[in-house]
């Protein structure tokens, strides 16, 4: 077989979560040889109790029957319009009814009037990341993406696909990205000859940092971005996985400054993961070649049409059903839907935090962990400088203690590791969202997993 020559193609590094998933069968076997069962504190997947499709499928069937009855066809054998649309080619924007229902509920929840025609369907939030990056990369000039240290591995993987793109990362404290560091990195990137289109972050339930940005810090970040003329790419997968009281939830960037924000929503975390329905929304205007002002969403729609000409109308009509209540009325809010899911995640979060406090709370000089106000994760830090949480460490954690956790080092962009070679090498990401069991078995398994982790932490740290 002849070899093809592709000199400009480079192989990308494998993500930390994919590496762990690939190595897990062998690690599981090693743990079982030692008489251990596997404890999951690694996977960031929606829980099976939250994503049980049976109730959704029943509701969807009733909603479609409702649409069928509304048509009032004279010929009962004729193909219903909703069914024809679900299985035909559709516009890149997909069915408007799905976007309108979502815009109403989401806008009500966050105090913003969303224009359904500026909602561009994507394949989850990951599709939105790809869309935004692709749009700004097409000009061919060097592009700098500003992001957090640490940041979502899916974003760094996408950014690394472009050979004329570079990441400039910003350190964080307990409130979010450092505003002075943000400004400094924007200006450094420009001094290095890069165009800076946006700052990417997950401000609510940050993955992997395990906390949410404060309201004060969000306003400080917006001030910097306005003054520097840079957009914010706001990834919001966990905006409804919130453990804060209703009056204490921070406001998403899109509601604070829709003209400055590219907002990414996904339905995956509120119980609709498989179909991968997401949306990009923005009211930003961009000055393009020739000095013309063009809406970001107009450019993004062209980009989306080139990548995915026809959206999946069946998935979007299914999401439309989710956006309607039991009486087929458009939901005024998504919080009642989210609260059904939050019952499991709140309980799991409590089991994790209570278990860590019980097992390690008497050693604040040795261990520290974040208390998440949203999302799926807590970041655990070893304060002993001799502990190194690299791949060998996490593999030993599985083989010797049966505990699966994700090392943090690979979540730090390259420049962050150059600034601090030990970045993340004293940390693990602990997930409380997923287990292979449900109900009382889930509670027992997570309690045992946290206890096993505490035993391991005391032994090694």
The one-digit pLDDT tens for each residue of the chain (461 residues) are 455 554 554 555 555 656 655 666 666 676 677 777 777 898 888 888 888 889 899 999 999 999 998 888 778 788 888 888 888 888 888 889 999 999 999 999 999 999 999 999 999 899 999 999 999 998 889 999 999 999 999 999 999 999 999 999 999 999 999 999 999 999 999 999 999 999 999 999 999 999 999 999 999 999 999 999 999 999 999 999 999 988 899 999 999 999 999 999 998 888 778 888 999 999 999 998 888 999 999 999 998 888 777 778 889 999 999 999 999 999 999 999 999 889 999 999 999 999 999 999 999 999 999 999 999 999 999 999 999 999 889 888 988 888 999 999 999 999 999 999 999 999 999 999 988 889 999 999 999 999 999 999 999 87
Domain membership of residue 64 (yes or no) is no
Count of CB atoms within 10 A of residue 161's CB? 13
What domain range is 380 assigned to? Answer: 16-50+336-460
Domain boundary among 259, 288, 322: 322
Domain boundary among 257, 288, 322: 322
Q: Are 42 and 409 in contact (CB under 8 A)?
A: no
Q: Are 294 and 282 in contact (CB under 8 A)?
A: no
CATH number at residue 278: 3.40.640.10
Domain membership of residue 5 (yes or no) is no
Read off the pLDDT of residues 405-439 as tens digits, 9 standing for 90 and up: 999 999 999 999 999 999 999 999 999 998 888 99
Number of domains into which the chain is organized: 2
CATH number at residue 454: 3.90.1150.10
Domain membership of residue 9 (yes or no) is no
Residues 409 and 262 in one domain: no
Torsion of Cα atoms, 399 then 404 then 407 then 413, to 10°: 130
Domain membership of residue 77 (yes or no) is no
Residues 141 and 36 in one domain: no
Q: 3-class SS at 370? A: coil
Residues 311 and 386 in one domain: no
Residues in the chain: 461
Residues 235 and 118 in one domain: yes
Read off the pLDDT of residues 324-369 as tens digits, 9 standing for 90 and up: 999 999 999 999 999 988 999 999 999 999 999 999 999 999 999 9
**Measured in Å, how far apart are the chain's first and last C-alpha atoms?**
52
Residue 287 forms beta bridges with which residues? 293
Residues 258 and 165 in one domain: yes
Q: How far apart are CA 311 and CA 318, in angstroms?
A: 13
Domain membership of residue 59 (yes or no) is no
Domain boundary among 289, 322, 355: 322
Residues 421 and 312 in one domain: no
């Amino acid at each position: 077989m002849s070899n093809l020559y592709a000199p400009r193609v480079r192989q990308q590094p494998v993500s930390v979560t994919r590496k762990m998933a690939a190595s897990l069968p062998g690690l599981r076997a090693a743990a079982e040889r030692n008489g251990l069962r596997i404890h999951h504190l690694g996977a960031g997947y929606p829980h099976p109790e939250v994503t049980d499709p049976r109730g959704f499928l029943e509701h969807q069937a009733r909603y479609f029957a409702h649409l069928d009855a509304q048509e009032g066809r004279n010929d009962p054998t004729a193909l219903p319009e909703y069914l024809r649309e679900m299985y035909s080619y559709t516009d890149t924007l997909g069915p408007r009814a799905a976007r309108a229902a979502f815009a109403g509920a989401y806008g009500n929840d966050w105090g913003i009037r969303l224009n359904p025609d500026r909602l561009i369907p994507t394949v989850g939030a990951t599709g939105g990341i790809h869309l935004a990056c692709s749009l700004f990369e097409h000009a061919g000039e060097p592009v700098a993406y500003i992001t957090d240290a640490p940041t979502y591995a899916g974003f760094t993987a996408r950014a690394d696909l472009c050979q004329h793109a570079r990441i400039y990362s910003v350190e964080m404290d307990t409130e979010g990205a450092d505003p002075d560091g943000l400004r400094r990195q924007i200006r450094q990137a420009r001094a290095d000859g890069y165009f800076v289109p946006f700052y990417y972050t997950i401000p609510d339930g940050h993955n992997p940092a395990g906390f949410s940005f404060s309201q004060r810090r969000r306003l400080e970040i917006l001030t910097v971005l306005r003054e520097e003329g840079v957009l914010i790419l706001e990834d919001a997968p966990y905006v409804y996985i919130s453990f804060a009281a209703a009056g204490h939830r921070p406001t998403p960037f899109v509601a604070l400054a829709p003209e400055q924000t590219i907002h990414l929503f996904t339905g995956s975390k509120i119980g609709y993961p498989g179909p991968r329905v997401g949306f990009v929304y923005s009211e930003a205007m961009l000055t393009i070649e020739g000095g013309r002002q063009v809406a970001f969403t107009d450019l993004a729609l062209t980009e989306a049409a080139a990548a995915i000409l026809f959206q999946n109308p069946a998935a979007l009509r299914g999401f439309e059903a989710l956006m309607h209540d039991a009486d087929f009325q458009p939901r005024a809010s998504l919080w009642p839907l989210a609260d059904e899911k939050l019952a499991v995640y709140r309980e799991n979060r409590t089991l994790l935090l209570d278990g860590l406090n019980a097992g390690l709370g008497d050693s604040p000089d040795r261990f520290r962990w974040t208390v998440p106000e949203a999302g799926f994760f807590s970041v655990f830090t070893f304060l002993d400088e001799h502990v190194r949480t690299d791949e060998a460490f996490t593999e030993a954690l599985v083989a010797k203690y049966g505990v699966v956790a994700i090392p943090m080092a690979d979540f730090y962009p390259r420049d962050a590791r150059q600034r601090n070679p030990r970045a993340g090498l004293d940390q693990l990401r602990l997930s409380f969202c997923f287990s292979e069991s449900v109900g009382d078995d889930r509670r027992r398994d997570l309690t045992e997993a946290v206890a096993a982790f505490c035993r391991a932490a005391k032994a090694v740290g």
